[in-house]
Structure 1
Amino acid sequence: MNITVLIPTYRRPQDLLRCLDALTKQIRSPDEVLVVARDSDRATWDAIATVETGALPIRTVSVTIPGQVAALNTGIEAAKGDIIAITDDDAAPRPHWLERIAYHFETDDAVGGVGGRDWLYVGGTDRDDGKSAVVGRVQWFGRVIGRHNLGFGEPREVEILKGANMSYRKQAIAIAKFDTRLLGAGAQVHNDLAFSLGVKRRGWKLIYDPAADIDHYQAQRFDEDQRDQFNETAFFNAVHNETIALLDYLPMWRRIVFLIWAFLVGTRKAFGLVQWLRFFPKDGGFASRKLWLSLKGRWEGFQTWRMPPGDRTPQEGAAISVPPS
């Protein structure tokens, strides 16, 4: 099976070069490396030009529309492989990454997606070596458990794959696109959640294999979402996007349970009333602000979800073009 490695990138040339270098060390070599970059990102195009000819089967695609969703949709459309393995530009796949991915697809025709552990590096040096037996699940009432950076043990079926380390059988995503309803100027948080749940909903198996692992250095983002720094717009967008993804995935009775739980209880990252009561003694008005943003995100996410497709404003429209000279 031919494998395309898809890398969306924006203004992180040194991280991209580290990622490409890691791909030259794969035990199972990629058949195509597809780098999707913004047409205006001169630093990235200059960095790609420095890659030694013949080191990798690199093909480049230019996009004009901001955001990761447009880049990923353009890349999927352009990819030639039977398998599309997606990673971030600030990641460095370990040598057996593609070998493990190929194994799962080749041994089970029902497998539509494969992902693995991403070893997170805090500040670029300190690795998080924690462990979690539960990875990539949606609990019956709608709470999402990610923890892809903490998984260990044997390969197993999951419901969610993480964007930095996920791959899909092209047949499984022939009618799929990353969701253009999602909000965000750059990362469009939870696009991976929505996409993997869509593949799962259509009946394909998703496999999480901790041995198909990468090193993930979490470089700077160039939008409102700055990871560990609170930003009201990023907080609202994340709640809005998660709401759409879960309402798409859950059956009717679980949607109702999820909405009740989300408004009454919630989580640290999307407050409900219980979480507000929990944090209010310590955080006061800040907790109240998070509650307001969470409730607003849930409500507007619900409104977006129930909107007829023809009334939605698409965020896609990226065009495949020749790289700047």
Structure 2
Amino acid sequence: MTDLSVLVPSYRRPDDLRRCLEALCCQYLAPVQVIVVARDVDKSSHLVAQAFAERLPLEIVKVNEPGVVHALNTGLPSVKAEIVAITDDDAAPHSDWLARIAAHFEADSRIGGVGGRDWVHTPDGTVVDGQRRMVGRVQWFGRIVGNHHLGVGPAREVDILKGVNMSFRRTAMEGLRFDTCLRGMGAQVHNEMGFSLAVKRRGWKLMYDPEVAVDHYPAPRMDFDQRGVFHPDATENAAFNWMWVTQTQLIGGRRWMSRQWQVWVGDASAMGYIHFFRALLRANPLARAKYRAAKRGRELAISLLRVLNSVQKLPELGGKQRVN
């Protein structure tokens, strides 16, 4: 059976981290290594992790900078196994999580990444349920489809994995790092989209299997980017990251179409023209502020990309390695 390491970035969520590590103790296929990456000032998380030292092959990696990108990039060099499974501290992997991940990688040597469903638990105790066949896709006309928390059906190839439930083959991500150009002090949204697309561009397959599951208890973020709450800086950062990732990782017509989609359509949080006009028609009092913040983020990303293009061709991030 394939050996797996587990990587868990954590920051000031000791109760969530305890639940996550308890779930890792109950895996049918035990990990050979569990890496908890925590800020050096986060004493409570260190204490929780240390309490599991006798039950898990635990390593604590300290970081002194904020952001999940820095945490993941700092933790990756410590990975020992051929497969690294990544989850968040506010998730509890199902007991067969690692065993199912390993089975996929063993079944097909062309698979570079595996992810699955995150069952979202709301504060009132209910579980978000639903059924979506389309998951983790970048459609030809530029729209990004997530739905990882609602996916049903058989395992299938996708374009994007979700950060709370994703795993990668070391050889597939050799030399790759999560993009440090992404903006934000905490979540740095869309970081997993960039990494997934970089692995896929190398010719590896990314698989989504709803049976590869974690329970997800979305916890408050430790910055101004709070779920469901508008903050202009958070919206600007998210729009920047979306534009930056797609324009550096997609190629040809898909890159152009994604840019047009974001400018003309966007989504409810990073509004393009169409979402903005819809919000105006519904008398949304935040419509103008949301649109302006998203527009600033997109324009900043495009400006920086133009500067990059003026000195060199857009880099082939992740290279062009193909899998036989």
Provide the TM-score with structure 1 as the length reference: 0.92
1:1-325 to structure 2, matched below 5 A, reads 1-51=2-52, 53-123=53-123, 125-283=125-283, 286-308=286-308
Q: Distance in 1 between matches of 2:122 and 2:306?
A: 39
Structure with greater contact order relative to length (CA < 8 Å, sep ≥ 6): 1
Q: Which runs of 4+ in 1 moved over 4 A?
A: none
Q: Distance in 2 between matches of 1:83 and 1:304?
A: 34
Q: What is the aligned length?
A: 310
Give the 3 Å change call, closer, same or farther, for CA 37–270 of structure 1 in structure 2. same
Give the 3 Å change call, closer, same or farther, for CA 259–308 of structure 1 in structure 2. closer
Q: Distance in 2 between matches of 1:234 and 1:179?
A: 18
Give the 3 Å change call, closer, same or farther, for CA 194–306 of structure 1 in structure 2. farther
Q: Distance in 2 between matches of 1:295 and 1:304?
A: 14
Q: Distance in 2 between matches of 1:34 and 1:16?
A: 12
Amino acid aligned to 1:32? Q
In percent, how many aligned pairs have the same letter? Answer: 47
Displacement after TM superposition at 1:262 (Å): 2.1
Displacement after TM superposition at 1:267 (Å): 1.9
Q: Distance in 2 between matches of 1:194 and 1:277?
A: 29
Amino acid aligned to 2:261? W
Amino acid aligned to 1:171? T
Unaligned runs of 5+ in 2: 312-324
User: Retained in 2: the 8 A contact 1:240–1:297?
Assistant: yes
Displacement after TM superposition at 1:124 (Å): 6.0
User: Retained in 2: the 8 A contact 1:7–1:34?
Assistant: yes
User: Retained in 2: the 8 A contact 1:35–1:60?
Assistant: yes
Unaligned runs of 5+ in 1: 312-325
User: Retained in 2: the 8 A contact 1:6–1:33?
Assistant: yes
SS of equivalent residue, structure 2 residue 163: coil
Q: Distance in 2 between matches of 1:61 and 1:151?
A: 33
Q: Aligned residue for 2:322? A: none
SS of equivalent residue, structure 1 residue 84: strand
Displacement after TM superposition at 1:257 (Å): 2.4
SS of equivalent residue, structure 2 residue 105: helix
> Bigger CA drift: 62-71 or 265-274?
265-274
Q: Distance in 2 between matches of 1:205 and 1:16?
A: 30
User: Retained in 1: the 8 A contact 2:243–2:262?
Assistant: no
Amino acid aligned to 2:43? R
Q: Distance in 2 between matches of 1:144 and 1:33?
A: 32
User: Retained in 2: the 8 A contact 1:163–1:192?
Assistant: yes
User: Retained in 1: the 8 A contact 2:142–2:260?
Assistant: no
Amino acid aligned to 1:11? R
